Amino acid sequence: MEYFLQQLINGLTLGGVYGLIAIGYTMVYGIIGMINFAHGDIYMIGAFNALICFLVLGYLGITWVPLALLIVLIVAVLLTAVYGWSVERVAYRPLRGSTRLAPLISAIGMSIFLQNFVLLLQGARGKPLTPPPISGGFTLMEKEGFTVELSYLQITIMLITVALMFGFTMLITRTSLGRQQRACEQDMKMASLLGVNINRTIATTFIIGAALAAVAGLMVTLYYGVIDFYIGFVAGIKAFTAAVLGGIGSMPGAMLGGLLIGLIEVFWSAYFTVEYKDVAAFTVLVMVLIFRPTGLLGRPEIEKV
């Protein structure tokens, strides 16, 4: 029971990170109907931005943890949002009127470009964050030498995930931007005729998705303490799996899928074998595509005539 509880905490923490990345996938798909395969690399760039900002703050002598975290969060989000906007401007907007295959290939090319861009600038070796800014936690249970712990960092990640999910739900349902995004999702041409600025709405969607990916990158940097140029590929594919599992195009579905993928990965590693944890996650993707293509909370796509 103690071991199960510890894995549940670990799974929810990892699932929260996947959920934030998955929201970026589902937002872009919901509006323009395309998968942004460069989104995982945007998350990787967010992690590097956070790490570099930590190092600069350490060099400047700013070591008070709450202030340092706030500065890192703001800087990483702003810098990564610029990358998200650039991806939309360079890889998607010029191809918006072309076939569905062209932006897909463009996104894959952008993903490879971003990976190699970071590889050239930062090298192939993992970059550590030492010492960890947040340490310590609570001991929830102790029995027969096994201790169930809930660290301050895990609490921080869960609270930030819940807060962002709540804020983002309010943004979509209660603001003018959210109404414009939903209008574009339903019928982009009609939304344009009614005065919605399509280009600005889509660019803002990419920026918001990149900002959420930056937050996820900061969390992973704090949680694992080491990053490299390749983390975006694996995490991106798993977040895409989470978006499909939850129902791509559905915001609550993306978060639900992220939590489920995180739990599946952690429990598989704990009770079977850690070497095949990725196989377990991708098996879920295959099963969902075969038996429930719309996902758990997705809606069947209705062709407009």
The per-residue pLDDT for 300 is 63
Dihedral (C-alpha) 208, 214, 215, 220: value to the nearest 10 degrees? 150
Distance CA 147, CA 101 (A): 51
Instruction: Kindly list the domain boundaries of the chain, sorted by start residue.
Output: 23-232
Distance CA 14, CA 39 (A): 18
For 105-162, how does the pLDDT look when each residue is reduced to its tens digit (9 = 90+)?
888 888 899 999 999 998 888 888 877 777 777 887 887 777 888 888 888 888 888 8
The per-residue pLDDT for 294 is 81
Q: pLDDT confidence of 286, banded at 50, 70, 90?
A: confident
The per-residue pLDDT for 302 is 54
Phi (first) and psi of residue 142, to 5 degrees: -145, 125
Could you tell me the pTM of the whole model? 0.87
